[in-house]
Amino acid sequence: MVEKDLLKTLVDSIQRLDESQVNGSVKMAIDQGVAITRLINEGLTAGLRKLGERFERGEVFLPELMKGAMIVQQNMKELETHIEKDEIQTKGKFMIGTVANDIHDVGKNIVATVFSASGYEVTDLGIDVSTETFVAKVKEKKPQILGLSSLLTTTMTNQRVVIEALEAEGLRKDLKIIVGGAPASPAWAEKIDADAYAEDAFSGLREAEKFLG
């Protein structure tokens, strides 16, 4: 199957929640040498976003959306073993978490996977991470880069709260902060004094690489 059709089949089978076809399409894409970036962005992520749009229109319901997210997550785990591991020992320390009151983690997990596969030492703090935990963990692990994920307009303000708390503790000097998630934008990053905004995992990686030279 040509690459474009394969990605379309993948997006469609996520809509049907056809787990075995999703798994089969991902395997076929890997075998055919489809770039992992395309498979993640134009396949798995696009499929889940489309399911989300149908959820917004009331065409699918919450349990279906959750099943779709679960199928995508499982396939991300599978993909992890195929992402070319970077030979360099460690490029730096990257920490990531989803901010308080927010439980979305599909995107965050993709970012963590991509950074880990690219040679970063990754600490994933999980979901619904309190500001106090972010501050304590930054103190403890001293990452060079911190990623803050938020998918809700009601929780994106917690990205600002975390940044302010880190500043108040004097922890900003050697730390670059990247914000991401659906409601974030370059303007938002600037407004809350983050160092960068990234629209997906791979642009996050490019931003990190700029910081670390």
- CA dist., res. 43 & res. 28, Å (int): 12
Which residue is listed with tokens 């880069």? Answer: 145
Report the nearest approach of ligand B12 to the CB of residue 55 (Å): 6
- The Cα 164–Cα 60 span in angstroms is 39
Minimum distance of ligand B12 from residue 119's CB (angstroms): 16
Site track for ligand B12 across 120-159, x = CB under 6 A: ---------------------------x-x-xxxx-----
Q: Which member of 17, 28, 30, 69 binds ligand B12 (CB under 6 A)?
A: 69
Minimum CB separation of residue 1 from ligand B12 in Å reads: 23
Asked if 101 interacts with ligand B12 (CB under 6 A), we say yes
Per CB under 6 A, the list member of 52, 116, 133, 167 interacting with ligand B12 is 52
Contact status: 117 vs ligand B12 (CB under 6 A): no
> Residue 175 Cβ, how far from ligand B12 at the closest point, in Å?
13
User: Binders of ligand B12 among 154-193, rule CB under 6 A?
Assistant: 154, 178, 180-182
Could you tell me where the DSSP H helices lie in the chain? 3-15, 19-31, 36-38, 46-56, 62-80, 106-117, 131-141, 157-168, 186-191, 201-212
Taking CB atoms, the residue at the shortest distance from ligand B12 is 107
SS3 145: strand
| Alpha carbon distance 9, 15 (integer Å) | 10
Tokens of 21: 């076809």
Q: For residues 209 and 145, what is the distance between their CA atoms, to the nearest angstrom?
A: 10
122 three-class SS: strand
Residue ranges that bind ligand B12, judged by CB under 6 A: 45, 48-49, 52, 55-56, 62, 65-66, 69, 96, 101-108, 110-111, 147, 149, 151-154, 178, 180-182, 198, 200-201, 204
